[in-house]
Structure 1
Amino acid sequence: MKLAIFGAGMIVKDFLTMISDVPNVHLKAILGVAADVPTMSELAQKYNIPKIYTNLDACLTDPEIDTVYIGLPNFLHYSYAKQSLYAGKNVIVEKPFVLTQDQGKELAQIAEDKDLIVVEAANNQYLNNFKQIKEDLPKLGQLKIIDCNYSQFSHRYDAFKKGRILPAFDPQKGGGALMDLNIYNIHFVTGLLGAPEKVHYYANVARGIDTSGMLILEYSGIKVVCTGAKDCAAPVRTTIEGENGNIQIMGPVNILEKFDETVSGKTKKIDQRIHQHRMFQEFVAFTKMIDTHDTEEAKKRMAHSLVVLGVVDAALKDAGIKLG
């Protein structure tokens, strides 16, 4: 995989600490705006990235690049992914994939028409601990309750209250608690159970954006609560409860360091990680998909992302929130 990185923010900096551990990834370029050049220069030097671009067209016409990783703000994902696909590049997009299911379907169709791969970096779907939880669910018997809480006070919230609207709280830029923290919970739950039968979103809304909220997903015989908050904080944890036992995860489901599994009164601690960084396994999978041109696996992963976006569409509509 010959990769160009789009962005120079926190997620890209985190990604770069890990990517050298992934076999067969060759960093070819980094793209950002003119104001990012000092940061991009530092990153390029530190991680041996040979080219720096501030012009998208110039980057996309570079023949040494076959794939782009989009680590830009949420509202830019769709347009940059679309242009990259039309330029003949495979595309990896950070979560949330795009802002609506219709946008996601359009990108999936373009990728199919052009015989390219487009995937969302929904990392928890690739983690060994997630796969183990999915495998172990039948041990819990009939599931009854899933409760996910990802609440983390944002250092941008005080500015927001004073009227300074940064991207994390800007509805025009795809901000809000649902699209930031709660999206991990949605990926986790739908990755286990598929699409819900009903969706309700009870959000705390200010200036047109959800600063926190409780997402209720209903399945046959199972009730799910996904809480995401950027205006307050609490212990981050997830519980899955069934008639025969439960699973408890302390910490975010996008990291999933370990979990406790209790069945018939007996508890064991489980940790199947193969790497300390949460993004490692997804990029191993992406590299394999792209190097072997496994479009069927990519379509399978995209089907999951579209389920997530269907939940997002329904939740935002229920709460009366419009993004973009």
Structure 2
Amino acid sequence: MSIPSPSRLGSSPPIVHPSAPPAYFPPSVSSDLIVASYLPVAALVVHIWDMLNNVNADYKLLTRHRLRLPSIVYCISRLSTLACLLVVTIYTSAFFGPCDPNFHLSPWLYCIAMQSTSLLFFFRVSAMYHDHKPVALFFFLTWLGILGGSLSSALIAHIQGVGPTKNCLGRARKSFVWTSFIVPLVNDTLIFIAISFRLTLIGLPENTRFKDAFRVIIFGKDLPSFSKALLRDGQAYYLTTLVLSFTVTIVFFIESIPSVYRVLLSLPNLTIVNFMACRVYRRTKSGMYRETSSLELSIPMAFHDCTRTPENSTALLSVNSG
């Protein structure tokens, strides 16, 4: 699937404004291009607003805690998302040309943004299963698989110029949908199940009935405040990813929808997923879940001990910086 190629100049109606990209497309396609160019602008504005809204939290995050790999990945996730949205906005609406078809910057930035965001949740599940190395290794291998798929999509991406103008348009293949939405969604589902299962084991007494365990997984019933907050944030992130990924995937395969919309819908998806993932990381790292004295916490992100006290069956979580 690709964005329609510019019409041949010989068969096109007279061009009134040769420097205007819509002049090189049929009228219906031109209107779609103009409307679709607002999608990256809107996504960019939302992301900038989110970054400005969390400047204070990010400053505390980076200055009050030791800078380690998860914090570096967090910064990469935020900045690469910003750079990706900015570059796509320039490609689709600005005039800083000429367009270089070999300048595949936006697919690579998209790959970095998506994979660094996914890596934040790998850190989370590996922290939960620090004492079960095979589980952490499994999710690391799945992340590497997703990374490989994203890199292959970036390699085959194509940027083309629009006539003699300074604008660029991109082409996306169906493999882009699999590597950018469907496969990461499966990985996020497995991570969500793994974290929910771990939190359930922490909060439930022995010989718990299946119905009670189901209530804990869905509603966080009887879980300590820290575990319940982790579970609910994970649910919010997963449901957001699920709805957005399915929506973008379905829209991508509906041929009646203009292809330019199907391609650029990935940008709002990138923005919202990054927003949710970074929100979960900030809340966990900053210790916003510390609500009860039964939780022994330092800097949250990596769990070192998960035990259940026989008196009240609550979790004692010792958390290391990450």
TM-score by length of 2: 0.27
Structure label with greater radius of gyration: 2
- Which is strand-richer, 1 or 2? 1
TM-score (normalised: structure 1): 0.27
Instruction: Specify which structure has the higher proportion of helix.
Output: 2
